[in-house]
């Protein structure tokens, strides 16, 4: 049996806009996710999983599942109004949620920002506007002051790299490379300033980023493909983690920005703030590895799917890996060993504790006539990945804080709606029929419960 440490955090993940609903209730203002048109054939977020009204029921199920942690996000739009004032009703909701979790023996692990920028900030330029830096920091300080006494692990920005490379998906705008990396720089500075506020406030926990990280393979043994893989890893991964962990820009990533004529404007003060305020741990999301070949320069720039990769002409081009199986739903490559490689790369590079905050299989689950969901495919996927987490701890000596798969309960996939489900708990609705929103435990619920109770995974 692959045993886990006694203090290991077994959890599950969600995000506010994908699970809460109540999009305009109790003083909440619209986010970019509320205002953009849904992808064809998918639902909006107005009701979602209705967690806002059913959080006590849901937390009770999380406790039955055996979770000792829950990674969720806080909606900026519930906390701060357009005039900058605090929405007390929004604070009260998260205060109640956190207290309910703690009462059930579940550690709250909040993410400050998960793709749901307030719409009014977006209308003023969003992350391309330097003013957003201080708006973000002010928002974070409100959260730290109100919940910092009960939270040990804070995550700043969920999947900043995906936010950067897939802006059209996240907020409906497709930016130039220069605009893209200017907004990214502002996010990096905002993150550093938030960490400064946290550390100077002497709150009792830790704070860190939550990017989507994937190891990058070369498509062949050729030196050109090997170099392409080095550049792709720098661009996709180390640009974001070097900034959070070292407080510096990755030189290979800067080289790519120069070739794209996209180096952001940055002040000496920006760079000093980044250098002096770094992460205590690294949360990361992992779904698949990435394989690249050298680009001949004739291909067009492509910002692609978060797992299927993208192209930077003359530098690297993502390709399919024939050695890996693919998910039926999205065509993402399944690579459990890639999780171990990825985590080892991060731990060797930064030496910081690691927390897995997303990992899972999206599938079109079917409810049987007798009201059950047999999701053996999800059990198989998670079993293989958890075995690699065990190997990271027991064989490689990597300090792993916990494992929070995506997602603990069914929620709306950002671009594939309710057809693509991830949860241990089924929610009885589809994209255009809310039905009764009944919660139903899947087979994977009982399997994961047994893993948690054993605190081990069978080899």
Burial (CB count <10 Å: 0-12, 13-18, 19+), residue 181: buried
Whether 159 is a known active-site residue: answer: yes
- Non-local CB neighbours of 134 within 8 Å, separated by 6+ positions: 193
Catalytic residue among 159, 179, 317, 333: 159
Query: CA-to-CA distance for 332 and 159, rounded, in angstroms?
Result: 17
Catalytic residue among 20, 100, 179, 358: 358
Whether 269 is a known active-site residue: answer: no
Q: Give the active site residues.
A: 159, 358
């Amino acid at each position: 049996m692959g045993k886990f440490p006694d203090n290991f955090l077994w959890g599950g993940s969600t995000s506010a806009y994908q699970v809460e609903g109540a999009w305009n209730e109790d003083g909440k203002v619209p986010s970019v996710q509320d205002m953009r048109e849904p992808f064809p054939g998918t639902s909006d977020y107005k009701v979602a999983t209705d967690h806002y009204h059913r959080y006590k029921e849901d937390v009770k199920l999380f406790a039955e599942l055996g979770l000792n942690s829950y990674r969720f996000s806080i909606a900026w739009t519930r906390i701060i109004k357009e005039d900058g004032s605090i929405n007390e009703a929004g604070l009260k909701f998260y205060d109640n949620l956190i207290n309910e979790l703690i009462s059930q023996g579940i550690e709250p692990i909040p993410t400050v920002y998960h793709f749901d920028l307030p719409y009014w900030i977006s209308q003023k330029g969003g992350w391309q506007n330097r003013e957003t830096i201080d708006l973000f920091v002010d928002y974070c300080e409100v959260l730290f002051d109100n919940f910092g006494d009960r939270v040990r692990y804070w995550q700043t920005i969920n999947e900043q790299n995906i936010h950067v490379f897939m802006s059209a998906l996240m907020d409906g705008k497709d930016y130039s490379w220069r605009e893209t990396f200017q907004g990214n720089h502002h996010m990096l500075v905002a993150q550093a300033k938030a960490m400064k506020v946290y550390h100077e406030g002497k709150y009792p926990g830790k704070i860190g980023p939550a990017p989507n990280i994937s190891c990058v393979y070369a498509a062949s043994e050729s030196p050109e493909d090997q170099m392409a893989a080095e550049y792709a890893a720098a661009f996709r991964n180390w640009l974001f983690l070097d900034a959070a962990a070292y407080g510096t820009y990755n030189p290979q990533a800067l080289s790519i920005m120069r070739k794209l004529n996209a180096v952001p404007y940055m002040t000496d003060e920006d760079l000093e703030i980044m250098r002096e305020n770094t992460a205590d741990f690294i949360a990361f999301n992992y779904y698949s590895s990435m394989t690249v070949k050298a680009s001949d320069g004739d291909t067009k720039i492509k910002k692609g799917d978060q797992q299927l990769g993208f192209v930077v002409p003359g530098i690297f081009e993502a390709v399919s890996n024939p050695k890996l199986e693919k998910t039926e739903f999205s065509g993402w490559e399944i690579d459990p060993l890639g999780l171990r490689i990825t985590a080892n790369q991060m731990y060797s590079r930064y030496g910081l504790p690691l927390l897995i905050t997303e990992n899972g299989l999206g599938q079109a689950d079917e409810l049987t006539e007798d009201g059950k969901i047999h999701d053996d495919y999800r059990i198989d996927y998670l079993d293989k990945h958890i075995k690699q987490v065990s190997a990271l701890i027991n064989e490689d000596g990597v300090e792993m804080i916990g494992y929070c798969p995506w997602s603990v309960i069914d929620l709306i996939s950002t671009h594939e709606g309710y057809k693509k489900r991830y949860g241990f708990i089924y929610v009885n609705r589809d994209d255009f029929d809310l039905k009764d929103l009944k919660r139903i435990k899947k087979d994977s619920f009982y399997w994961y419960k047994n893993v948690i109770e054993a605190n081990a995974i069978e080899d």
